[in-house]
Amino acid sequence: METSENPFEAYDEKMAAAELRHYRKKGPNPWTRALVDALKAEGVQGTTLLDIGGGIGAIQHELLAAGTVSAMSVDASSAYLSASREESDRRGLSGRITYQHGDFVELAPSLPPADIVTLERVLNVYPDWEQLASLSAGRARRLYGIVVPRNRPFVRMVISAINLMLWLKRKRLRAAVVPIDAIDRVLGTVGFQRQSSARVGPAWEAAIYRRI
């Protein structure tokens, strides 16, 4: 039974350890790689990064290797934040990454802006995705990158099944499909325009937005 007031603690030590092993063995997941490659195409040399819900830190590690000078990782899962620290220490990057544990929406007023803000598979699990999108884009000076589920019947069916499993396990976390055109609309109100998007397999879409 879910005992934590924080639904994102459903991302526990077992899940974090499995993802970290996979990353060390095979590198970033295809959707992560698509997002990182799109950001690199826009230019990341000398930039700063704010990675929200960054999990084990794959985006942070890949962009730091590509020329980003520093990163901040904000995650509501203590297990994933710990895994990210472990990997950054292993790579000798601990001095270039700072960590914040908690809900970004609550922490946002105290966090500095960054050149790049990323949310990989985060908007679709946050209860108020519009608030999260608006506040997080407000911290981005130049680029904003996301990975979200594609708006397809098959994907919606899979997410419904996942939500049923979460409900049966008494977890408070829920997932959803957030249409990319709805995200475009919200980000447009805070000064961002979509520059590119790429479909990754049957389920995911990576998109890059630039401040206009």
Dmax of the chain from CA atoms?
A: 46
Q: Is the pLDDT of residue 1 over 80?
A: no
In a domain, 203, yes or no: yes
In a domain, 48, yes or no: yes
pLDDT band at 3 (very low <50, low <70, confident <90, very high): very low
Give the type of residue at 57.
G
pLDDT, one tens digit per residue, over 122-156 is 999 999 999 999 999 999 999 999 999 999 999 99
Q: In 10 A of CB 41, how many CB atoms?
A: 11
The arithmetic mean of pLDDT across residues 177-188, rounded, is 96
Report d(CA 88, CA 131) in Å as an integer: 30
Q: Is the pLDDT of residue 117 over 70?
A: yes
pLDDT, one tens digit per residue, over 40-93 is 999 999 999 999 999 999 999 999 999 999 999 999 999 999 999 999 999 999
pLDDT at 2: 40
In a domain, 74, yes or no: yes
| Range(s) of the domain holding residue 111 | 7-211
In a domain, 171, yes or no: yes
pLDDT band at 97 (very low <50, low <70, confident <90, very high): very high
Contacts of 193 (CB under 8 A, 6+ apart): 187, 209, 210, 212
Q: Radius of gyration over alpha carbons of the chain, in Å?
A: 16
Q: In 10 A of CB 187, how many CB atoms?
A: 22
User: For the chain, how many structural domains are there in total?
Assistant: 1
Q: Is the pLDDT of residue 4 over 70?
A: no
CATH of residue 11's domain is 3.40.50.150
pLDDT, one tens digit per residue, over 10-43 is 788 999 999 999 999 999 999 999 999 999 999 9
In a domain, 1, yes or no: no
pLDDT at 98: 96
Report d(CA 149, CA 77) in Å as an integer: 21
In a domain, 12, yes or no: yes
Report d(CA 204, CA 192) in Å as an integer: 21
**Collapsing DSSP states into helix, strand and coil, what is residue 17?**
helix
In a domain, 92, yes or no: yes
pLDDT band at 5 (very low <50, low <70, confident <90, very high): low
Report d(CA 209, CA 197) in Å as an integer: 9
The arithmetic mean of pLDDT across residues 179-202, rounded, is 96
Closest CA to 48 of 109, 113, 111, 99: 113
